[in-house]
Amino acid sequence: MKNILVMATGGTIASLPHKDGLAPGLTGEELVERVPLIDSLCHIDVVQPMNIDSTNMRPRDWMQIADGLARHYDDYDGFVVLHGTDTMAYTAAALSYLLQGGSKPIVLTGSQQPMAAPFTDAKLNLYQSLLVATDDAARDVCVVFGGKVIAGTRAHKQRTMSYNAFVSMNFPTLAYVRGDRVLWSGGRPPREKDLPWHRFRAMNDRVIVLRLTPEFRPQIFSLLKDDYDAIILETFGIGGIPDYDGNAFRRAIFDWVDSGRTLVLTTQVPEEGLDLGVYEVGRAYSNHPGILKGADMSTEALVAKTMWALGQSKDPNRVRELFLRPVNHDRSEP
């Protein structure tokens, strides 16, 4: 039998009712004890670095989770991280960048209903995550939820209450869990290329996401200079940025990147990605130095990857190289 480490971090799956609402209360050991039949799957050890609502999950917590996984990497065949659903996609993406290469699966899961609820999805999600973590074909960071296996950089929480909460953004679902079987789409899950196991130890959390809306004021770019090193800008449609008021946006954006800061352009439309070359309102930004294109990446992955890339280097050319390098299926090139 394989040896699996379960890392509990809190979230809805561990929550109990309190006078002010649900809050994490069950330990990792208590969660594992409540799932039948898992003793027949693998040997399980449990660690608990934190027990928090995932709304409170921050980059420093991502680092703590990555540290724990790296410390035990040689001791186990696979890993399951129990996590709240609200920020699970961010953590899955961050771990994809912080822990690269190797051949062992790191599976994130949680639930829409607490483990203690009478009609919870927690038991099945945890059981299926262990199935995936013990599967010989599994590797890399992934999210297992509602019978789906999703690449860690492609997960997105689409629904707030339904049990099929997560979707795979702009990339095929890696596998489906049916009964006690993991059915991989197209056979063994692909990887861009085999890389040696590596733990990255730095992230720059001075990254913010802005979403364009009608009458958005471009002056905000200058106001953010003291607190942020990178902006991820969610444009209209396939890459539209307003060009009214004497090209005020163009001046503000070029001033931002020309000052040595990073700008990542993406789209606020969930599916199919960005292409700055289609419309005049986007083409002006397609080749300006310091502007990075998010392609079909999710916003969650863009946040984590920008923090990771800026954590490795301050050189704009090196940041661009790292940002454009595919990691765990995070981007598709045109």
pLDDT tens column, 36-51: 999 899 999 999 999 9
Q: Give the domain 207-324 fold.
A: Rossmann fold (3.40.50)
Query: Distances in Å between the alpha carbon of 32 and those of 8, 50, 61, 141, 199?
Result: 10, 16, 22, 21, 28
Model confidence at 189, pLDDT cuts 50, 70, 90, reads low
Tell me the C-alpha to C-alpha distance, in Å, between residue 219 and each of 222, 224, 249, 281, 291: 6, 9, 8, 19, 18
- The answer, yes or no, to whether residue 300 has pLDDT greater than 70, is yes
Asked about 12 being catalytic, the answer comes back as yes
pLDDT given at position 190? 55
Question: Could you read off the pLDDT of 60-114 as tens digits, one per residue?
Answer: 999 999 999 999 999 999 999 999 999 999 999 999 999 999 899 999 999 999 9
192 pLDDT above the threshold of 70: no
Query: Quick check: 257 pLDDT over 70?
Result: yes
Select which of 12, 87, 153, 299 is catalytic: 12
CATH for the stretch 2-199: 3.40.50.1170
Q: What is the pLDDT of residues 4-21, one digit of tens each?
A: 999 999 999 999 988 788
Annotated binding-site residue? 86: yes
- 280 or 102: which carries more pLDDT confidence? 102
Q: Is 306 labelled as part of a ligand binding site? A: no
What confidence tens digit (pLDDT) does each residue in 101-117 have?
989 999 999 999 999 99
For position 281, what pLDDT does the model report? 73
Output the six-digit token pair for 191.
């990887």
Given the residues 9, 27, 85, 299, select the one marked as catalytic.
Answer: 85
Domain boundaries, given as residue ranges, for the chain: 2-199, 207-324
In whole angstroms, what is the distance from residue 284 CA to residue 221 CA? 18
2-199 and 207-324 share one fold:
yes
What pLDDT is recorded for position 188?
57
d(CA 251, CA 272): 28
pLDDT tens for 109-158 read 999 999 999 999 999 999 999 999 999 999 999 999 999 999 999 999 99
Is-contact 182 138, C-beta < 8 A?
A: yes
